[in-house]
Structures are given as C-alpha cells and as structure tokens.
Chain A
Amino acid sequence: MMRAVPGRALRSEPLVHFAVLGLVIFGVHAAQARGHGEPLRVDADRVAATGAELARRLARAPAPAEIAAALVTELDEERLYREALALGLDRDDPIVRRRLIQKLRFVQEDLADDAAPPDDADLLALRDAEPDRYMLPARLAVTHVLAARDRHPDPEAAARELRARLLAGADPAALGDPCVHGQRLALRSASALAALFGDAFAAALSDMSEGTWNLAPSSLGWHVVRVDAREPAALPALATLRPRLRADWEAARREASGHAALVGLRARWPAALVDVEPAVAAALAEAER
C-alpha cells in the first residue's frame, strides 16, 4: 500500500529543517547579490480576471482595494514560487520528482494516443502474428445416450447394451436415462463439453470418428456418443474481431511507445558504472536493452 506521505515525514525531520533554513539564508544572500528579477506583469486583462473571480466569490462587484488585496496575494505567491525555483528547492524533492515523472509518462502516452488509428492491414497483421490468442476452438456436435452410474450396477455394460440397440437402428430418443442437457448438443468446444460431463468425456470424443456410436465415460456414468459434426478451429473474420483487435493494438502501441521513449532516454542519460561486479553489469546492460 502506498501509505507513505513523504511530505509529512520530511516536514517532521529536524535535519530537513536545518537544511532548508541554510538554503534560505544562502538564497537570500544570493538573491541580494543578484539584485532584482524579471518584473511581474500586471495589465488590464489580469486585473479584470482577478476582479471577475472575486466578483463570483463575493456575489457583488469588488472595490479597487479588494482587487488590490487579491492581486497582492497572487503576486506574492508567484514571487515565492519564482524564488523557490531560483533557490533550487524543487531539486530532490520526492513529491516534485514523482509528479514530474508522472507528467512525462502522461505526455508520452498522449503522444502515442494521438498517432493514426490502425487500418485493417494493421489489425490483420496483429491477428496473424498471434493466431492462438484469437483462434476459436474446434467444436463438435454430438448425440448421446446416458447409462447413469446411479441407475445401473455396471453402467459401462449398460452402455454397451445400449450401443448394440442403437447399431440395430433403435431411436436414441427412446433409449437411456434422462439428462438435463437433453440428448443433442449442438456445436461446442471440448472445454464446454468437459464442463457438462467432465474431462474424461471430452477426451474420449477428441478422435472419435463422425457418425458412429462409441462409448465415453463421464461424471454421470457411461454414454453412447455419436459425433454428428465437427467444426475445425478457425481464426474469426476481421469484422467479428475488430473491437478486440483494436483494443489490443492500442494497448500494444502504448506499451511500445513507452518502451521506445525509455530506450531513447537510456541513450540520452546513460548509466556510468563504477566498481560494479561484472555479472551485475552484464545483467544491467541486458535489462536496459
């Protein structure tokens, strides 16, 4: 958890008080030595803006003295800010540091988001680069007749008997025990079949030839199963996949642009290694690539 509140911790640290005081004294001297800074421009626009904000808060037109008091507050804040910058108080401040890092990251992400949207060729390339991710699973449609473990002392033998009757032309709808899913299951994946009747059932169907009655064990007993149709695994059409591809493409672009920006910065601000173990140095070079 990000519990640390660096500002509070630092403010209560005597060493920090001492350092800040030292800097301020040093700075006062430095500023006196430098003389005056750039003046703060106060023009009609600025007076009007300050007056308007004041009028909104007071719900009446402010007097000139009230506008002047508000202006002094603004100007003093600006003076304090400029002086703090001149003294370098922003340097090594953990809050300023974190804030600047975040700002730069947002700027980089915004740049990535402003780039041209992907066209169909981009999206197809993304799909075809990682077909497994987008592939629809192979599916099969089956008819099954159940010999339930709860109803037969030897459900496998019962299933064999049912199979013989089916091979002799019996109507499956008149055979076997009831199943809440019915006897006909339209095209679905092996994992969907496993969800209904367990992994062993799905596994038994994996290389069963179409149109023949075969036995398969399940979480309920034994089934006589006929595979009615198979649909091979396939990549969906672009139109169907477009929203998902587009989201994935944008996520990849954001990641790539963040990475590219860092690679540039690593070149611009290289690490200078001093007395670093060779193994660590090599690993670092690798990690920075």
Chain B
Amino acid sequence: MILRTARAALLASLALPACADDPPRSYDDPREPCADHNARRNLYFGDLHVHTAYSFDAWISDVRTDPAGAYRFARGETVAGRELARPLDFAAVTDHSEYLAEVDGCTTPGSAVHDTARCVAFRADAPGALVQFGLGLDKEDPARFADLCGPGGLDCPAGAAAVWSRVQAAAEQAYDRSAACEFTTLVAYEWSGSRMLANLHRNVIFRTKDVPALPITHFEAPSAAELWSRLQSECREGLPGCDVLAIPHNSNWSNGNLFVPEASSDPAALARLRADLEPLLEVYQHKGDSECMNGVGAGEPDELCDFEKLRSPPFDDCGDGVGAQGILARGCVSKLDYLRGVLLAGMQEEARVGVNPYRLGVIASTDTHNGTPGDVAEPTYRGHFGSREADAAARLTAVVPAGPRNSPGGLVAVWSEENSREAIFDALRRREVYGTSGPRIAVRMFAAWDLPEDLCARADLVDVADERGVPMGGLLSPGPAGGAPQIVVAAERDAGAQGQPGTPLQRVQIVKGWLDAAGVGHIAVFDVASAGTDASVDLDTCEPRGAGADALCGVWRDPQYDPSQPSFYYARVLEDPTCRWSWRDCLSLPTAERPKACDELPRTIQERAWTSPIWVEVAAP
C-alpha cells in the first residue's frame, strides 16, 4: 500500500513539470519531438565558426576534411587522426562563401580550370594564393577571377550552387532527427568581405533546411548593408520557412569599421534591420579576444582585459574615425573594436535615431581552419592552419593569419528548451547564450527588481529568478520608483573529461555600462563572488597550485543606479590560471631552441565565460 502511494506520488510528480501543459510541438524542419524538453532550458555547447577544405585558406594548408568530416568530428568520431574528449551538442560549418566554385575547380582534376596558371599556383604556392585570393575580398567593386569564372572557365554561380548543396547535405546527414536529440547542425557559411584590410566578416546561420539556392558572397554584396538586404529578400521574405542570422566576428581586426553605421536615407529602418539580423557578436575565437582593450574606450584600466590580445601597445587610437589594415595587425585601434565600446555606442545610436542597432549578445567559437569544431583544449592545441602549424616551433613562429598570438578559440553555450534546430536558433535570436574561451563553464544570469537576497542559498534559484526576472540577453522593463536592478549570477565549474580535468573558478564579475546625462558612456566592473585570488600555476610543470571554487553565486544590486540613464550588465566568470598553449609548446623545446614568442607572450591565461548582457529600459518621460 505504502509502495503504491509512493509510486502514485512519483508518477504525479513526473507528470508535473512543463511537459504536461506544453502543447504538442511542431517543427518547421520536420523531426521527432525531443524527449528532453525543458521549459527552464538546458545548457548545450557548440561551435558556430568552422572552416573545412572548402575554404580557400584551409585547402592551401593541406586541410582535406570536408563538411561531413567536420560534423563527424563534432559528434565525437576520429577524423584526420584527432578526436574530441567530449562531443559537441551542435555545430555549424561556415566555409567562406567566396571561392566555393573556384576552390572546387582548382582542386578537381579534369575541371575546366584545373590546369590554368592561377589554379596551378593556387595548389603549389600557398602564401601567394592566400594573398591573391584574400585581396580579391577587399575591393569595393569586387569581381570574380575572369580566368576561372569567365568564358571558357567555370560557371562559378552554378559551381558554387553544387558545392553549397554538398554543404547542406552534410548538415542534413549529421542532424539527429530522433527523439534523443543528440546533435544539431545548422546550415551556414561565412560572408568574408573586408575593406582596406579592415575585417568585416560575418557568419550567416540558417534556422532550418530551407535556405536560398546560393550563398551570398562579397562579390554580389560588397557591403554589410547589401548582405542584410539580400538575406532579407532572398531568405526571410523570399523563401517560405527560411530564417537567418548574421554574426560578426573579429571586430578586434576592424580598425573601427565593423560597427560604423551604414549609410542610409532611413537610418532608423537600417538600424532596425541590423538589430534584427545581427543580435550577436562572436567576442572570442582563435584570432583573439574582442571584449575590451585597455587604452581605448571608457572605464578604468581592467587588468583582466589583457587576455588573448592580437594587438599590443603602442598603437594609435582611432578616436571617432576609422583606420585600415587591421587584418595585418596594423592601423589604429578603435573603441568600436571591442564589445564594451560597441554596447555603449548602441545606446548612443538609440538616443540619436531611436533604435539600438547594437543590442548584442555574446558568443565564442573556434574559427578552426582544420575542420575540427570544438577542439579547444590548450594542452592539445596543434594549430588551426594545417601543415603551416605542424609542430611546436612552427606554431610559435607562424605568421598571419596563423601565429603564436592565436589560440584554440572558444565555444558557444546556449540555454535552450531542447537540442533541435529551431530551439537552438531561437535561443541565439533571443541572446540567451554566452561564450567561453574553451572550458564548459555553466553560467546563468537573471535580472529583476525583487529577488530574494538569499537566492544563492535556495535550491529553486532558477525557478524563482526565471519567474521574477529576465535571463541573459533580455530587456528588463523599468522598475518601481526608487528601486535598483538586481542581478543574480550562478556559475559552475567545467566538470572536465577523461584526461582533461576542469579548472576551478576564481571569481564572478559584473560589468556595467551606462550613459550619463550628457550621453557619455561609462564602464564599471564589480566583483560579485570570489574564491580568492591565491591560486596559481607551476610554470615548470603547468601543475595548478592552490584551490578555487566548484561553484560561485552572487545576488548583486546596482549601488549607483539612476533610472534616467540607460544601462547594460553582463557577467564575466574567471577560472584559476592555467598554462597557455604556447608556454606548453615552449616547455617541449630545449631552452636554447625556444623562439622569441616564448619570452614575449603571456605564459598563463585565465580561461573565462562572458555572458550576453541584460539591458535595463528607461521609463518613457
């Protein structure tokens, strides 16, 4: 009898959670419904920036893994001799949309252009090909190579369509449409325009299998505004079931050009389109960090901004202008090259045109050019440009786009109801996502006006915070008179994997940005939870010393809140220090043979997570 009661209670409790009153789910991209569906959202890790042999700058480094191989790697299979310690939950292969047909033609014996001088040089002379093909992406009025695509050569649009259909097929085959929902793929590509060698690149990510017949390239759409307008007309308005996002990256290479408002007769409409299509910034990847830079922009010096920087002082500040040659790590550095400056500029634009075009959530990814999504562990980093970075000495002395300042890159984390294309995409769109520099740190952040002060001691933290507040990426409506917003941040360490122990947490910070009455931007950083800063690392062995926390949690109320000033808040979660990959490579070489990078570069890093911000809305006057 007791047993039966217990069983009945158990069954009742099982029927209780969100699934009970959930309507039957329908999918735009048909599939079995996911058995694991959580209205409070599950955490999934992925990589949304992955190049394979279809990218011109990967093929010339002897990378031969194709998109299907990259997805197999993400799912945990051994590919080209490497294997992930932990498979990813989702991934998108983002090959450069430019040159899909040209690379295919130059590398397929018997094609119409295989034996042309340009293709012979492409296959034989990697540095020359990189410059030649790279410069083709830097023109205001770009044209495809006539000798490859012109009369008698390839029909490049038709060739690109054929390669693009292989990209889609690879995503289709690797997508787990069973109820287990083990792995999600998103059809994607990278639009790779630059201007005067200042980076403007975006990854274009589709929601379902319904995508346009051709990817948009810099050749038809040489500016970001043209890219958005085509995404709008060819996908969202032109193709039933199609939805899309564009995610800019490497603003740290853009000399202020990536976040300049595009020229338009209707700036508000363009800002609205931009905000709608570009809700995220890839703030970290193998070519460095774009969160903040000491010496440019608002705020006191922040030693934790000195993390994975491609540029080191001295450099010129672009001020309110723009520069050139960021891709070569040259030219001025702008406050708009870093997240903090961009978020402040977004609020300033809102004051100017009525729309915030830069309400940006935060992700990270790898940008691997080896077709190895999610291969982010520092101790096993083997470079990202194939044979150009085959051994320790090569990695420590390689030059742009490779080099010792590069890193394995990071991961994107999403809080999503389930692991399906629609749910992952929708989480990206609502910015309930964050980036990490590689570790699988679990972080939640909510903002509200009336959180219990003891929330961090309560098992129902997530339920309470989710019901009373908004999660990361959200907009908090104006609060009661005299109130100040509260933020709760809860973080758990990476649990690690076989052979890859996770690192304990050091502290949790909140970064606040706001505009004063004169419209000037400010930044302040607050520690909200800490395990102390004593832990370190033995530089001879890379063994950790001292202890951090398994979990950190803090409820924080803004001590200087002014409801008339627009503001945003994001969290930064730091691990204890560990050896940087480059120092591990240095240790593997005899002291006399160590390149100068061993003396110049930081030997340790503090891996971290950056959450998407929460914005607090200002009450209408």
List the interface of chain A (C-beta within 8 A of B).
Answer: 1-3, 5, 98-99, 102-103, 106, 136-137, 139, 141, 143, 145-146, 148-150, 172-189, 191, 194-199, 201, 211, 218-221, 228-229, 231, 236-237, 240-241, 243-244, 246-247
Contacts and interface: CB of A to CB of B under 8 A. Distances in A.
A148 B36 contact: no
Interface stretch (B224-232, B398-406, B436-444): B436-444
B347 interface: no
B150 interface: no
Interface stretch (B130-138, B171-179, B326-334, B613-621): B171-179
A241 B31 CA distance: 11
Interface string B105-140: 000011000000000100110100000000000000
A64 B392 CA distance: 66
Q: Which of B36, B180, B456, B498 has the most CB of A within 10 A?
A: B180
A95 to B, nearest CB: 9
B459 A180 contact: no
A145 B440 CA distance: 22
8 contacts: A174-B459, A177-B457, A178-B458, A178-B462, A182-B40, A197-B495, A211-B10, A236-B180
B554 to A, nearest CB: 12
Interface stretch (B292-300, B486-494, B514-522): B486-494
Given A173-B460, A220-B550, A180 B124 contact: no
Contact of B180 (A172, A173, A189): A189
Task: Give the residue among B45, B169, B174, B550 with the most A Cβ atoms within 10 A.
Answer: B550
A191 B178 CA distance: 17
A178 B459 contact: yes
B461 A136 contact: no
B178 A177 contact: no
Interface string B33-52: 00111101011010000000
A179 B492 contact: yes
A176 B86 CA distance: 29
B182 A189 contact: yes
A191 B45 CA distance: 14
A180 B68 contact: no
B241 interface: no
Nearest to B14: A228
Contacts of A145: 459
Given A1-B387, A177-B551, A186-B17, 10 more contacts: A5-B120, A106-B110, A137-B180, A178-B457, A179-B462, A180-B490, A184-B17, A198-B496, A211-B10, A219-B493
A221 B462 contact: no
A235 to B, nearest CB: 10
Nearest to A176: B459
A186 B22 CA distance: 15
Interface in B15-36: 17, 19, 31-32, 35-36
A198 B442 CA distance: 13
Contacts of A194: 495, 497
Given A177-B459, A182-B463, A243-B173, A1 B62 contact: yes
Contacts of B86: 191, 195
B551 A186 contact: no
Interface string B531-573: 1000000000000000001111100000000000000000000
Interface string B204-243: 0000000000000000000000000000000000000000
A184 B10 CA distance: 13
Contacts of A5: 120, 124
A199 B459 contact: no
B107 to A, nearest CB: 11
B128 to A, nearest CB: 12
A178 B387 CA distance: 47
A182 B17 CA distance: 12
A167 to B, nearest CB: 10
A220 B180 contact: no
Contact of A102 (B109, B123, B440, B497): B109
A175 B440 CA distance: 26
A219 B14 contact: no
B169 A247 contact: yes
Contacts of B531: 150
B142 interface: no
B502 interface: yes
Contacts of B463: 173, 182
Nearest to A187: B35
B492 A220 contact: yes
Contact of B495 (A146, A183, A196): A196
A196 B442 contact: yes
**Residue of A103, A175, A177 with most partner-chain B CB within 10 A:** A177
Nearest to A149: B550
A148 B550 contact: yes
A244 B77 CA distance: 15
A141 B180 CA distance: 12
A180 B40 contact: no
Give the most central of B43, B109, B443, B549: most A CB within 10 Å.
B109
Contact of A186 (B38, B173, B174, B496): B38
A204 to B, nearest CB: 14
Contacts of B491: 180
A177 B110 CA distance: 65
A149 B491 CA distance: 14
A98 B178 CA distance: 45
Contacts of A198: 495-496
B43 A178 contact: no
Contacts of A178: 455-462, 490, 553
Interface string B404-420: 00000000000000000
Residue in B43, B387, B495 with the greatest tally of chain A CB atoms within 10 Å: B495
Contacts of B178: 136, 236-237, 240-241
A173 B35 contact: no
Contacts of B146: none
| Residue of A141, A180, A185 ringed by the most chain B CB atoms within 10 A | A180
Contacts of A243: 169, 172-173, 175
A276 to B, nearest CB: 32
Nearest to A244: B173
Contacts of A240: 31-32, 177-178
Contacts of B459: 145-146, 172-179, 183
B411 to A, nearest CB: 12
Contacts of A220: 492-493, 550-551
